[in-house]
C-alpha cells in the first residue's frame, strides 16, 4: 500500500514538472488581471439599451457568426427576424458598402410552450480569402443592417491567433462587464464553453424571450467575429408539465 501511494505521488509530481516545463518554454500566459466581481448580480432588465431591439420593421437582430469550415475560409452568419421570414440572403464584399457577392441561406422557427419565436436564418458564406476583412449586409430595404468580420491567417504553426474563452455568461450586469472586457482584449474568436443565456432560470414564455434578449446582448461582439459554441447543462430546457429534456432552442439558434 505504501509503495503504491508513493508511486502515485511520484507520478503526479512528474506530470506537474512536465506541465511547468512546457509552460515555461511556450508562449501561453495570463493576458489580463481582470476578475469579475463575486457579488450577486441581477439580470439586465429587458428595457435596457444593451438589449434593445434594432429600429425598423422586421430588422435583423441577434446577429452572430461562427466558423463555417475547418480551414478558416468560411463563416456561418445567423440572425433573427421577428415579424416575418423575409430574406435569408447575405450580401458581402471586401469594400465597405460595396457588395460584390451574395449567398442564400435557410430559415426556421420554433415554439416553446406558448411562445412562438421569430424566424432564425443561417447562411453559409464560403470561398473566402485568408486575413481579409469582409463587409456584409442582411435584411431588406430601410431595415437592413451592415456588419464586418476578419478571416484568420492561413493555418501555420507560426501564424498568431488570439482566442477568448468564455463560459456561463448569462445576461446580468456582471455579464456586461465580462463582455466589455473581452471586447477590449484583442481576441479574434470566442471559444464558448457552454451555459449561454441562463434562460432556463425562467418559465413558460419567458424562456424564449430571454433567449432573444441574450442574442441581442452578445451581438456587439458575435456579429463581428466567430463565436464557437458548446452546450452546457443550462441549455437543457424543461417543457412545462412534460418530462422531456430539450436542446431545441440552442440547436436552432446557435449552429
Question: Residue 32: its pLDDT value, please?
Answer: 65
Question: Residue 200: its pLDDT value, please?
Answer: 85
Question: Residue 17: its pLDDT value, please?
Answer: 55
Query: Is the backbone of residue 72 left (phi > 0), alpha (psi -120 to 50) or beta?
Result: left
pTM: 0.83
Question: Residue 25: its pLDDT value, please?
Answer: 47
Question: Residue 243: its pLDDT value, please?
Answer: 43
Q: What is the DSSP letter of 170?
A: T
Nearest to 216 by CA among 47, 45, 53: 53
Count Cβ atoms below 10 Å from residue 240 Cβ, excluding itself.
Answer: 10
- Residue 104 has φ and ψ, to the nearest 5°, of -115, 140
Question: Residue 128: its pLDDT value, please?
Answer: 98
Question: Residue 203: its pLDDT value, please?
Answer: 83
Task: Give the integer Cα–Cα distance in Å for 175 and 221.
Answer: 13
Question: Residue 51: its pLDDT value, please?
Answer: 97
CB-based burial label for 193 (10 Å; 0-12, 13-18, 19+): middle
pLDDT < 70 regions, the chain: 1-40, 238-252, 255
Domains in the chain, please, with CATH?
A: 59-253 (2.60.40.380)
Amino acid at each position: 500500500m505504501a509503495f503504491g501511494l508513493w508511486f502515485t505521488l511520484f507520478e503526479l509530481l512528474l506530470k506537474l514538472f512536465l506541465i511547468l516545463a512546457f509552460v515555461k518554454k511556450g508562449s501561453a500566459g495570463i493576458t489580463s488581471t481582470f476578475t469579475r466581481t463575486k457579488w450577486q448580480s441581477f439580470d439586465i432588465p429587458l428595457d435596457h439599451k444593451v438589449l434593445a431591439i434594432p429600429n425598423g420593421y422586421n430588422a435583423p437582430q441577434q446577429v452572430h457568426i461562427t466558423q463555417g469550415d475547418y480551414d478558416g475560409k468560411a463563416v456561418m452568419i445567423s440572425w433573427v427576424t421577428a415579424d416575418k421570414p423575409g430574406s435569408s440572403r447575405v450580401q458581402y464584399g471586401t469594400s465597405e458598402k460595396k457588395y460584390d457577392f451574395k449567398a442564400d441561406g435557410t430559415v426556421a422557427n420554433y415554439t416553446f410552450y406558448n411562445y412562438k419565436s421569430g424566424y432564425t436564418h443561417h447562411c453559409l458564406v464560403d470561398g473566402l480569402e485568408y486575413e481579409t476583412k469582409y463587409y456584409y449586409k442582411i435584411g431588406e430595404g430601410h431595415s437592413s443592417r451592415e456588419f464586418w468580420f476578419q478571416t484568420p491567417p492561413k493555418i501555420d504553426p507560426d501564424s498568431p491567433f488570439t482566442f477568448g474563452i468564455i463560459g456561463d455568461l448569462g445576461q446580468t450586469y456582471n455579464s456586461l462587464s465580462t463582455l466589455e472586457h473581452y471586447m477590449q482584449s484583442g481576441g479574434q474568436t470566442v471559444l464558448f464553453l457552454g451555459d449561454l443565456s441562463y434562460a432556463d432560470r425562467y418559465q413558460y414564455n419567458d424562456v424564449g424571450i430571454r433567449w432573444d434578449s441574450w442574442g441581442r446582448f452578445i451581438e456587439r461582439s458575435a456579429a463581428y467575429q466567430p463565436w464557437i459554441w458548446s452546450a452546457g447543462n443550462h441549455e437543457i430546457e424543461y417543457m412545462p408539465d412534460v418530462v422531456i429534456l430539450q436542446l431545441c432552442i440552442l440547436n436552432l439558434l446557435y449552429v
